[in-house]
Structure 1
Amino acid sequence: MPTIFSTHPLHPRATEMLASAGELVVASALDADTLVRQAAGADIVIVRAPLPPALFGSAPRLRAAIRHGAGLDMIPMEAATQAGVLVGNVPAVNARSVAEHALMVSLILLRRFRAMDGALRHDGWAAGRAYADGNHELAGKTIGIVGFGAVGQAVAQIAHHGFGANVLATTRSARETTETMRFVAIDDLVAAADIVVLCCPLTPETRGLIDARRIAHMKPNALLVNVARGPVIDDAALVTALRENRIGGAALDVFATQPPPPDHPYFSFDNVIVTPHMAGITEESMMRMGTGAAAEALRVLANELPLNLRNPEVVESYRKRFPAA
């Protein structure tokens, strides 16, 4: 039977879908040596952790690497393509989960929840209530969305229709301004927004996109929310701005190094919310991502191409490896 290797356990519905198609093997650890060794006999790899490029040269039966989600930065695309391996993903299925998270942490920062909760628990009722005077509503705020894919669109929809926020967005592809939102250049967006939400993919163009210059142009009480990838932000620049009180706060779900070291400066700020790369993880989204990845794996095992094939240039070499496909 085919071997389906997954870096992590899958949702029970996904496991059930794959039960009759092959043997599902889950990695015992996520270090490069373990992944290369345990994936050596795999026909399919389902990806929720970064894959080492060497894996693709050490798995002669490997047909496809299927991303459990949308972002492809965990898959070394060049190595996969050179090895004649298909790459697929499951786009958009966790967009609502990520968008809800982005707005949740925005509200937590606007309402100064962390400081209020701590004061209430340690210093009493009156100390907690004292924070109410400096709280703010989300209604009427301007939210600037960097990247207008599925997540950015979900943030815009909830922010405007759910909270009455004004929406600005910037994206690589030209878009026309609508009645509910305006598309502007990135520098105009960071200067005008009360909350900047990063939803863009990590590319050479977006690495370090939010640097010292752009942070300096943000409003002094503006919030920065990152549900994209850690390296989109220049960490040193953001830490400096936080120390100098030149920014209202930040909510970070992703980091340049994951997990961040325990002594990272981000952990020292009361106006910074840190979460362990879980904005897109809910029971509902895990089911959608898992069953979506399983469906793509089943397509490949049935000698079909993935519905969401991300390296179409590989098809010719792939079919030379697997003539029946």
Structure 2
Amino acid sequence: MGAVKGNQTLRSHSLRAISQLIKDDADFKKRRLPVNDLRYFNRWLARTASLGLIGAGFESIRIVRNINNSSGRERVLHVTSLLSILSQGGISLVQALGASFGRLSANFMVGGVVTGMLLVATITYIIVNISINKLKKGAYEIWLSETPWGVGKNRAEWSTKSGLLESARENQQVVSEAIAKLETIVKQPTISHEVIEKVTAYPQYTHKETLGIKLNIQVPEQATGLPIRLKSNLETLDESAKIARSENGYFVDVSTKELPQYLSINLEYQLGDEQGKNHAYWFQHAVKQSASYSSIIDTDKQKKIDASITSDWLVL
């Protein structure tokens, strides 16, 4: 490959063009160019670019899933990330095809223009993903940033009252609210689901019929035994659900012929009769993606989930 880098003729002509010149031009043939080095270079580039193309394909699938489960600024960043990874994949595709069929010159496939485009796409991808990671805070990070000891813009403030008793009461209220939020995080459940289908095989095709969906609600040890209720955008949830206890929570089988594109759930631990005492959680996930997922922290997303709810409360 070093001979390719140091030979202007090899760099500026495609393998197919050089092979044709050697065949048709006797003077060109006498130059005895190290064509085998160009062949080795093309094979190496074809393999490397193919691996890059496969990697870009898998990453694109992952990003598309993130786009489907995000909104607002986060969604814009994921779309930008997808465009950058598709650019990288497009460049890898051109390199793989050009090197495999010997149609493109080394100067074009790894030259300044293509390398520059690949560099810009890669840098964009890195910057965007750093921005996404900064945007995404864990539940504990958000909780800490909102306490009086945090540095978030929504952090709670200590009392500014001059009276000692009045100030102490307000500060006690601040601490109590912070502890209640922390308790909500500690007792956070996780949910996974599985679509229930009836598959019938025929000689020419396979028929799939949706029968319902199975929810697996897992609660941490600290929340075991607490009464739970939930509602969802599954309209038949409160009418057709079959509930069974599991070792770490509940299984809920819901019979329905039609499923939404995204499963939305609002779940609460019932801790008392007074409004606001329940620990509430919101979940949303693509129905076709079977995975375990945690509750959504973003308040804007929580409001959208509330707006999509169609069922009444189901007490487990």
TM-score range, shorter chain: under 0.3
| TM-score, length basis structure 2 | 0.23
Structure 1 or 2: larger helix share? 2
| TM-score, length basis structure 1 | 0.23
Q: Greater Rg, structure 1 or structure 2? A: 2
Q: Which has the higher contact order (CA 8 A, sep 6+)?
A: 1
